[in-house]
Each structure stands twice: as structure tokens, then as C-alpha cells.
């Protein structure tokens, strides 16, 4: 429904109106509004209904649903970024508010930069002090009086929400697949370790469905439909831009895992995701902040503490660089004709490889460059349908990856040092060094760089902080390092 009265800069409050899950249909509703405007209703569909939920499981589902409601609200809040946030029907505590503020401020970093906004200190989630019988989103006594008035309709808080209960989840992983190389590396690593898994994705991408089918594993396709009113607001001058999609998808998969009785939610974000673009005069802006370690550690800990103590959220590839992931992917050609990391051409499927890779976006540039040191040249050119490094017109795109006369693109690509080391490696190989952009690198860029920064071997080291279960990591570490 369109709201003809929507005036972006006059909106006073963003409201989390209510949320609910129909266990018979598996459809969740997430409801939002600005001021007294029309309701914005998002739906998320969880296959496998009807769901039978016992006491502890029902409490965990309700807690996970509310966390999803709060995180998914970022898609709507950004339309006006009003000064006040209201949570109706339930309340949250200070720890939950702090997590949400961190996700919103950092996850909307690129959005704020592009729209000339400063969100630091602007986003404040109202919270209440712990009640004697429960904390978290089940607590009572909100600070905001208007929330308090509406909270009379809230369900009674449950004491087990104080800390996540052990739900007795089965040893099974829901593995998020995005159609690119990273998730396929995780899937094959889990397969090699003998972990039962279900390949899981959100939305109706044919490309992802084809990759999921190629794995030969059980699949789970979740549905998400944004409120149609959001698009009406966009036409009326709402703010628009990048949101922390991985945070939203993580919350959806956590709820799905509880409904499915699975004890692991697995993503495939490597350590490079923790580093953003350095913008002169602004500082670091990370396009993929919710793929980084700060989000993973905070969100994963919250899920175990507040929702289910035996539900493990982690990124399997966190100890790897993008180049190490590329090396791992190159070990098999099983997915050469099926995968794509291209954002621009992502919805297109066809027989010819060029239909899965536009060849001109930052993702195409980076994946080509990252794979080149680890794949025979004919194989890589066959995947993309062309040699991107022999096209002088694309120099600007590769310069941005190298952080040469430009900043790292606002895309999910590796660090500048990784791109420089990959290019330097190609410059030493006869089959690559004559290509236009490699030759240009040798001629114009490499002389300005310190030789030690161009070594690829240190970037392939495995290590660093991660949340991978210890026993599983011991199984996988040697394989990843080989």
C-alpha cells in the first residue's frame, strides 16, 4: 500500500510493530511502520511445515523470530533513518540493543557514506532493565513509555530466555550457498569431513538452485518477500542503498535451523571480509561488514547465549584468505560450468559461460585474478569465456582491486595486497606476462611497490580467529593448508 503522505525528512519514528510465525504453514510475518503510516509486511517462508514445537523449542523459535524481526528491519529503517525507534509488543535488554546498534551502524556504513549521513550516535534501540523472571526480548518494563503502553499485549516473558537452552539439536549443518566459489569450497570440505549437511539458500535464483543441485546433497530453499510498500517509499524519495544482507540471512538461517532441528549454521566468509575500503577523509567503510569477524563473533555468541546453547553459527573459511579459498576451489572442476560470483549478471543462466559472467564488474575482475595463479590458463578462460587480463580497457577496474590510484571497490572482493600478490605472481609466468594488464602492471605499477608485499606465499597461510568447532577444524586444517 502506498503512503502519499510519506515525507522522508519529516518521519519521527520507525516502529517494529509485531512479528509472528504460523507453525502450520511455516510462514513468518515481520511487520514495520513509520509513524502512523501503513504497515510494511515482510514474509519469510520456511519449508517443512507443519512444525511441532515443544516448550524449549517454542521459546527458542520465538526468540529467534524476534531477533530476525529486529535485524531484518534494517531494510525498512534505512528509508528514512528517523531519530526514534519504537519496539511494540515486546521489549529488549541493553545487550540486545547494543548488538543491534552495532549491526545497524556498521552494516549501513556504505549506505551512510553514499547518502552523506552520519549514523554514529543516531541509532538508539530502546531497552528495558531485566525483569525478575526473564531477560532479552522477553523482558518487561521498557524505558520508552509508548512502548510500555503497547507492551501490555505482549506474550508473557519466558524465564529460559535468560540464556539459550540446550535444545538437543541433531548433528547437522545448514550451509548457506550463494552460487560462488566460497560456499562450494565449504560444502566440499564438510563433505570430506563426513558432516551431514543441507545446502540452503534464500530466494528464487536459478543459478543458486543449479549449483545446489550440482552438489547432490539435500537442499532447503527459503523464501523472503520484502514488503511491497518499501518500493512505493523508494519512488517517493526514500533513502536507498546497501544493507547488511548477510546479517539478515544469518538470522533467517538461525530460525530455520531451530525449525529443522539442526545444530550448525555455516557461512563461507573468509578473513579478507573483515577489511573495508579506505576512503580519504572518511576512513574505513566496509561494504561486507556483516561478512566480517566482528559480526560473526558478536552474532554467533549472542545466538548461543540467548537462543540455543547447542546451535553453532560460524564461517568455515574465516581462517583463510581469498587467495587460499581460490586455491582450494581450483582443486576440482566439478563446478566450473555452474558457479558464478558475478553480481551484475547473476540472474542470467545460459549454455555459454559468458552468460554467467559479465566480465566487467569488480567481482568478475577479482575472481578471475584470484583463480589465475592456481588454474591452467585455458581452464580459467574457458570458465569466463574470455581473458579479462588481456583487455586494456579494463585497467581502471583492476587498478581499484590493486588499490592503485583508487580505493578498493564497494564489493565482496579481497584485500588490495592479495590482488597485488596475485598480479605479481602472474607477471613471473610466461603464459600470463604478455597479457595487456599484466604487462602494464610490470611496467607501471610494480616498480612503485615493495617486493616483500608482492609475495603470495604468506597470504596462503591458514590461521586467525574463527568459530569453527575445534574437532571439525582439526579435520579440515591440513586439507586447507595443502
Q: Which residue has the cell 576440482?
A: 332
Domain assignment present for 330: no
- What DSSP designation does 315 have? E
Domain assignment present for 305: yes
Same-domain status, 262 and 404: no
Same-domain status, 370 and 266: no
Percent of residues, the chain, with pLDDT higher than 70: 85
Q: In terms of Cα–Cα distance, which of 136, 66, 47 is closest to 98?
A: 136
Same-domain status, 275 and 413: no
**Which among 257, 281, 315 is the end of a domain?**
315
Distance (Å, whole) CA 232 – CA 14? 16
Q: Which H helix or E strand runs over 215?
A: helix 206-215
Q: How confident is the model at residue 164 (pLDDT cuts 50, 70, 90)?
A: confident
Domain assignment present for 430: yes
Same-domain status, 384 and 276: no
Domain assignment present for 233: yes
Cross-strand bridge partners of residue 170: 262
* Count of domains observed in the chain: 2
Domain assignment present for 477: no
What pLDDT sits at residue 359? 86
How deeply is 155 buried, as exposed, middle or buried, from its count of CB atoms within 10 A (0-12, 13-18, 19+)? exposed
What pLDDT sits at residue 79? 97
Cell triple for 46? 520456511
- Give residue 194's region: left, alpha or beta (phi > 0; psi -120 to 50): left
Same-domain status, 98 and 192: yes
Domain assignment present for 360: yes
Q: Strands 262-267 and 283-285: what pairing? A: unpaired
Domain that residue 397 falls in: 341-460
Q: Does 135 have pLDDT greater than 50?
A: no
**pLDDT, tens digit, 9 for 90 and up, residues 170-217:** 999 999 999 999 999 999 999 999 999 999 999 999 889 999 999 999
Same-domain status, 258 and 366: no
Same-domain status, 298 and 352: no
Distance (Å, whole) CA 281 – CA 283? 6
Kindly report the backbone phi and psi dihedral angles of residue 85, in degrees, each rounded to the nearest multiple of 5, phi listed first.
Answer: -120, 130
Q: Give how far the C-alpha of residue 414 lies from the chain's centroid of Cα atoms, to the nearest Å.
A: 15
List Cβ neighbours of 235 (8 Å cut-off, separation of 6 or more).
none
Q: Does 275 have pLDDT greater than 70?
A: no
Same-domain status, 380 and 304: no
Cβ atoms of 128 and 143 closer than 8 Å: yes
Same-domain status, 136 and 262: yes
**Which among 260, 281, 315 is the end of a domain?**
315
Q: How confident is the model at residue 396 (pLDDT cuts 50, 70, 90)?
A: confident
Domain assignment present for 146: yes
Same-domain status, 289 and 372: no
Give the mean pLDDT of 292-307.
Answer: 96
pTM of the predicted protein model: 0.87
Q: How many CB atoms lie within 10 A of CB 301?
A: 13
Q: Does 84 have pLDDT greater than 80?
A: yes
Same-domain status, 293 and 402: no
Domain assignment present for 109: yes
Same-domain status, 367 and 299: no
**Which among 315, 333, 365 is the end of a domain?**
315
Amino acid at each position: 500500500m502506498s503512503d502519499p503522505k510519506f515525507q522522508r525528512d519529516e518521519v519521527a519514528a520507525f516502529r517494529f510493530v509485531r512479528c509472528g510465525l504460523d507453525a502450520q504453514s511455516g510462514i513468518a510475518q515481520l511487520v514495520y511502520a513509520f509513524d502512523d503510516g501503513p504497515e510494511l509486511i515482510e514474509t519469510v517462508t520456511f519449508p517443512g511445515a507443519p512444525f511441532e514445537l515443544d516448550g524449549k523449542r517454542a521459546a527458542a523459535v520465538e526468540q529467534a523470530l524476534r531477533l530476525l524481526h529486529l535485524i531484518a528491519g534494517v531494510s525498512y529503517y534505512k528509508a528514512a533513518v528517523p531519530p526514534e525507534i519504537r519496539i511494540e509488543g515486546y521489549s529488549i535488554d541493553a545487550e540486545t540493543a547494543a548488538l543491534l546498534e552495532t549491526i545497524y551502524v556498521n552494516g549501513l556504513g556504505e549506505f551512510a557514506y553514499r547518502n552523506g549521513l552520519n549514523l554514529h550516535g543516531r541509532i538508539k534501540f530502546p531497552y528495558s532493565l531485566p525483569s525478575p523472571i526473564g531477560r532479552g526480548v522477553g523482558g518487561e518494563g521498557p524505558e520508552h513509555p509508548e512502548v510500555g503502553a503497547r507492551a501490555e499485549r505482549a506474550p508473557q516473558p519466558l524465564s529460559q530466555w535468560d540464556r539459550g537452552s540446550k535444545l538437543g539439536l541433531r548433528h547437522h549443518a545448514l550451509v548457506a550457498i550463494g552460487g560462488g566459489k566460497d560456499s562450494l569450497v565449504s560444502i566440499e570440505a564438510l563433505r570430506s569431513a563426513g558432516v551431514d549437511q543441507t545446502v540452503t539458500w534464500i530466494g528464487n535464483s536459478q543459478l543458486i538452485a543449479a549449483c545446489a543441485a550440482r552438489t547432490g546433497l539435500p537442499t532447503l530453499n527459503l523464501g523472503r518477500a520484502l514488503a511491497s510498500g518499501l518500493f512505493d517509499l523508494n519512488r517517493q524519495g526514500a533513502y536507498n542503498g546497501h544493507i547488511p544482507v548477510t546479517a539478515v540471512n544469518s538470522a533467517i538461517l538461525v530460525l530455520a535451523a531451530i525449525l529443522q532441528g539442526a545444530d550448525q549454521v555455516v557461512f563461507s566468509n573468509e578473513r579478507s571480509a573483515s577489511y573495508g575500503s579506505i576512503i580519504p577523509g572518511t576512513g574505513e567503510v566496509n561494504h561486507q561488514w556483516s561478512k566480517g569477524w566482528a559480526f560473526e563473533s558478536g552474532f554467533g555468541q549472542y545466538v548461543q547465549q540467548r537462543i540455543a546453547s547447542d546451535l553453532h553459527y560460524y564461517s568455515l573459511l574465516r581462517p583463510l584468505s581469498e587467495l587460499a579459498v581460490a586455491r582450494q576451489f581450483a582443486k576440482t572442476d566439478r563446478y566450473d560450468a555452474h558457479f558464478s560470483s558475478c553480481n551484475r549478471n547473476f540472474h542470467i543462466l545460459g549454455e555459454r559461460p559468458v552468460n554467467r559472467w559479465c566480465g566487467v564488474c569488480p567481482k568478475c575482475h577479482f575472481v578471475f585474478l584470484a583463480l589465475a595463479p592456481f588454474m591452467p590458463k585455458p581452464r580459467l578462460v574457458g570458465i569466463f569465456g574470455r581473458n579479462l587480463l588481456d583487455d586494456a580497457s579494463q585497467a581502471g577496474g583492476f587498478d581499484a582491486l590493486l588499490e592503485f590510484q583508487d580505493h578498493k571497490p564497494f564489493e565482496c572482493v579481497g584485500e588490495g595486497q592479495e590482488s597485488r600478490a596475485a598480479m605479481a605472481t602472474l607477471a613471473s609466468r610466461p603464459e600470463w606476462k604478455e597479457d595487456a594488464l599484466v604487462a602494464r602492471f610490470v611496467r607501471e605499477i610494480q616498480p612503485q611497490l615493495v617486493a616483500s608485499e608482492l609475495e603470495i606465499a604468506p597470504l596462503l597461510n591458514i590461521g586467525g580467529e574463527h568459530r569453527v568447532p575445534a574437532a571439525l577444524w582439526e579435520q579440515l586444517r591440513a586439507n586447507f593448508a595443502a
